[in-house]
Amino acid sequence: MAADCEIDDCGVLAIGRCLRCGRPMCTSHRALTPQGGPVIDQCTQCQTAIAKEGRDRSQREALEAEVARRARQDRMRTAKRAILSLIRQLAAAGHRPDKKIRHAQKQVEVGWWTRRTESREDPENHLYGWFVGTYTWEYSAMSGDRPREDRTSELRTYITLDRRLATEDRGPLWSDVRGMEVGIDPDREPPGRIYIDWEQVLARLTTIARELGVHAAEGS
Ligand SMILES: [Zn+2]
Ligand SMILES: [Zn+2]
């Protein structure tokens, strides 16, 4: 028995049924693919509804992602402030980082005839840090004669007394990389060079401080 199209009070002779809503539909109330071909089992109203659900879902997901991103940003900001505060407390208590991560050298003139220079150790500029974990760093590097290339490495990472996050010196092989550093800025993440969980850094530094007898103080 032939049915009439029930979409939009149409009434034209139906040629099929919509699988989703079960109503009979005519040729012009049959959904079309983006290429213009007929979608055999779907009416135009259901197609519109499905598209809207998809849009709503992706809007909702985008919103949730944004909320999560801001929440994380807030947590990281709080953690970074606490890290900076802890560094200040450690310094105030007279503690210095234990691990040398940069060995500094300087050129000095030797022999007042020749003006020859030699490299000498430069202890004032050695860099020391507290080890706070291994993190993923992105950098571009040159090795020997090979062209510069982008790399990602898990690197041992340290907190310095002058409020930086730094990696260990990587030796002469990576002559232009050596160690890397980023400042700790509560309001800004380092630009794409390091993926860091500041809460984890804070946890590590808190443990180090506790072992040294320094306990995190509120608002200092
Ligand atoms: Zn339908
Ligand atoms: Zn119709």
The pLDDT value given to residue 137: 84
Q: Which of 214, 204, 220 is nearest to 96 (CA)?
A: 214
Ligand that lies nearest to the alpha carbon of residue 12, given by its number in the listed order? 2
The ligand with the least distance to the CA atom of 5 is: 2
Continuous segment of H or E residues that includes residue 154:
strand 149-160
Each domain of the chain, given as residue ranges in start order, spans 57-211
pLDDT at 57: 96
Q: Which ligand places an atom closest to the C-alpha of 29?
A: 2
HSE-CB of 162 using CA atoms within 13 angstroms: 7
Quote the ligand 1 centre to 60 CA distance (angstroms): 24
pLDDT of residue 220: 43
* Ligand 2 centroid distance, CA of 37 (Å): 17
Give this prediction's pTM.
0.70
Q: What percent of the chain has pLDDT over 90?
A: 54
d(CA 177, CA 180): 7
Distance 27 CA to ligand 2 centre (A): 7
**Which ligand is the nearest neighbour of the Cα of 9?**
2
Q: How far is the CA of 8 from the centre of ligand 2 (A)?
A: 7
Please report, to the nearest 10 degrees, the dihedral formed by the alpha carbons of residues 39, 45, 51, 53 taken in order: -130
Ligand 2 ion: residues within 5 Å (CB): 5, 10, 12, 26, 29
What average pLDDT does range 174-196 have in this prediction?
73
pLDDT at 12: 95
pLDDT at 110: 80
Cα–Cα–Cα angle for 159, 163, 164, nearest 5°?
60
Of 28, 22, 18, 75, which Cα lies nearest the Cα of 199? 75
Q: What's the CA-to-centroid distance between 14 and ligand 1, angstroms?
A: 13
Residue-wise pLDDT tens digits, 99-144: 988 877 888 888 777 778 888 888 888 889 999 999 888 777 666 6
Q: What six digits make up the tokens of 53?
A: 């659900």
